[in-house]
A and B are shown apart, each in its own frame.
Chain A
Amino acid sequence: AQTVTQSQPEMSVQEAETVTLSCTYDTSESDYYLFWYKQPPSRQMILVIRQEAYKQQNATENRFSVNFQKAAKSFSLKISDSQLGDAAMYFCAYRSYGNKLVFGAGTILRVKS
């Protein structure tokens, strides 16, 4: 069974600075998707970024980018120019072509002004 590990329960970052959230996963599959979701206090799950395993290029979405290391099974999220609105719980998730999402335990990100 696939597992997703987020080893940082909480992280803090100063406004306008950069922070990296870590995620590792375990799978025997070669084709899969990886995601970062944001859950703000409203608790609405918001997709931040998606990475397809067969693509070597790291995904980017504006201030959000990932460092995808397939051999190491690592998938970290970098948030640049952090904003107060980035404060949330962030979940790393794995999905095979079977469609079921497996979530990590989450990382609470606090942004200091």
Chain B
Amino acid sequence: GAVVSQHPSWVICKSGTSVKIECRSLDFQATTMFWYRQFPKQSLMLMATSNEGSKATYEQGVEKDKFLINHASLTLSTLTVTSAHPEDSSFYICSAGTSGGTLPYNEQFFGPGTRLTVL
């Protein structure tokens, strides 16, 4: 159990367009979802934390109008990169936090990531 999917796995878009990335918990309910950004050979940088039904909490330095996060249900969160530019090219990873039950409480399970390339 505890599988998290992301879609798409790889997206190429033109500068100025918006891109939506989906993160789904397939076999558990995720009360909290996290979005990270990772540059090559670097660590994961937390962008924002979202709880189902409420507004996301963004980390310092992350533009909330640029990176729109929606957590509409206990199994789905989306990250929309608005008006994407080449500097937004990166690897985006989501993780889903559990609320207990058969899975460890507050454990985070990671999606496979989405590679975004903005031309």
B35 contacts the other chain (CB 8 A): no
A11-55 CB contacts (< 8 Å) to partner B: 42-45, 50
Most buried by A among B32, B46, B108: B108
- Is B97 a contact of A99 with CB atoms below 8 Å? yes
* CB within 8 Å for A101 and B91 given contacts A43-B113, A91-B43, A106-B43: no
Of chain A, the residue at the smallest CB distance from B38 is A43
A-B pairs with CB below 8 Å: how many? 42
**CB–CB B44/A103 < 8 A:** yes
Q: Which of B20-51 contact A (CB under 8 A)?
A: 32, 34, 38, 41-44, 46, 49
Judging by beta carbons under 8 Å apart, are A108 and B41 in contact? yes
Indicate whether B106 reaches chain A with its CB closer than 8 angstroms.
Answer: yes
Please report whether the interface of chain A is mostly helix, strand, loop or mixed according to DSSP: loop
A-B pairs with beta carbons under 8 Å apart, 18 shown: A43-B91, A43-B112, A44-B110, A44-B112, A44-B113, A45-B95, A45-B110, A50-B104, A89-B41, A95-B106, A97-B106, A99-B97, A99-B108, A100-B46, A103-B43, A104-B43, A105-B42, A106-B43
